[in-house]
């Protein structure tokens, strides 16, 4: 039997996003965490098929639209990658919004020709509100950029000393939609460039595992959000207008080509904790490929008893292709593979 899955592919600041538009059943559940658990149990073989080789690769990212779980939500979103299903993805919000508007999946140009379009998403990490700036080329709508109001972001634990080999590395644990271990690249002894990607992948995984050995990382108000999703290496910016350069090693040694949306929020939470972030002042975050996201502090709140910020993250995405993937039940590699 042949299983067909249709997708629209895009990239956000260099990072891919494969949006499934047909071929996967609708996840069940009253909450987005329940829908995520349903997908983990029943759709994971298909996730592997479209994320891993030969249809994808180690660094591929994907998304699936679901029914919203709130009365005023436009859609729910589940995110997927090489290891499983994540709780939130900033570059994915930008990409999904771009695809949804340009291809009429959520918003239709028949609703008028506004300069901006507002979209409300339910994610496993919580409500995310996005605003797309659009232009028109005749009858064709084009998304210029997307900014989104992220979930409250906070520092879980600052300056945790992690031992990797003979080196002790200070690590800030922060949440920006997922939990990250944030380290200074110089302190870790590895520069942020393409030539050192194998070292960054390996060290990023080692740091994440060691943090989880030392601490039980659980969201203070949502026990369903647990564990270290990725390691963010930071360094001085190379672009004249940027403030920091970074690379994020996520899931099972995936490398984010973009500045990482939820990672940018987590880095902003750390900078805020250090007193280095001012309200409504742009924070320009640079990626390993020289692209940028812009962050701003919209609001200061508390999560549990921890001070937190509500960050806004902005960037742009572009559609790169449309695909119909064929999965043959007799194919011994139908669920994909990794090297």
Q: Which of 13, 89, 188, 228 is catalytic?
A: 89
* Inter-residue long-range contacts of 187-191, CB under 8 Å, 24+ positions, other chains counted: 188/164, 188/233, 190/233, 191/235
Distance between CA atoms of 309 and 300, rounded to whole angstroms?
A: 4
Chain Cα centroid distance, residue 251: 11
* 260 noted as active-site residue: no
Distances (CA, A) of 87 to 126, 193, 328, 329: 9, 28, 30, 30
User: Which residues make beta-bridge pairs with 180?
Assistant: 174, 230
Distances (CA, A) of 106 to 101, 121, 134, 166: 6, 11, 14, 52
Instruction: Please choose, from the candidates 187, 19, 180, the residue with its C-alpha nearest in 3D space to the C-alpha of residue 97.
Output: 19
Nearest 5 degrees, angle CA 90-CA 184-CA 153? Answer: 35
Residues with a catalytic annotation lie at 89
């Amino acid at each position: 039997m042949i299983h067909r899955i249709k997708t629209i592919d895009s990239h956000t600041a260099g990072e891919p996003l494969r949006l499934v538009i047909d071929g996967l059943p609708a996840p069940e559940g009253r909450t987005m965490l329940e829908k995520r658990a349903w997908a983990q149990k029943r759709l994971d073989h298909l996730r592997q098929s479209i994320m891993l080789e030969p249809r994808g690769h180690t660094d591929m990212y994907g998304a699936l639209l679901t029914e919203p779980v709130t009365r005023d939500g436009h859609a729910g979103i589940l995110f997927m990658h090489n290891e499983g299903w994540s709780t939130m993805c900033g570059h994915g919000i930008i990409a999904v919004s771009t695809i949804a508007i340009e291809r009429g999946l959520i918003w239709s140009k028949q609703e008028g020709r506004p300069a901006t379009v507002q979209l409300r998403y339910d994610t496993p990490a919580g409500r995310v509100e996005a605003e797309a700036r659009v232009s028109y080329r005749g009858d064709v709508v084009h998304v210029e950029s997307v900014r989104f109001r992220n979930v409250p972001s906070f520092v879980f634990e600052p300056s945790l000393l992690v031992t990797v080999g003979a080196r002790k590395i200070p690590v800030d644990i922060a949440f920006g939609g997922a939990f990250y271990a944030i380290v200074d690249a110089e302190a870790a002894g590895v520069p942020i460039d393409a030539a050192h990607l194998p070292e960054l992948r390996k060290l990023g995984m080692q740091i994440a595992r060691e943090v989880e050995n030392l601490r039980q990382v659980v969201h203070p108000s949502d026990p369903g959000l647990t564990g270290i999703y990725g390691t963010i290496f930071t360094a001085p910016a190379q672009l004249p207008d940027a403030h920091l350069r970074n690379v994020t090693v996520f899931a099972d040694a995936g490398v984010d080509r973009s500045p990482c949306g939820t990672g940018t929020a987590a880095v902003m939470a750390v900078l805020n904790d250090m007193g280095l972030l001012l309200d409504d002042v742009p924070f320009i975050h640079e990626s390993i490929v020289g692209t940028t996201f812009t962050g701003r502090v919209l609001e200061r709140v508390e999560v549990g008893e921890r001070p937190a910020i509500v960050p806004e993250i902005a960037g742009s995405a572009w559609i790169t292709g449309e695909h119909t993937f064929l999965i043959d039940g007799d194919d011994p590699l139908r669920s994909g593979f990794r090297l």
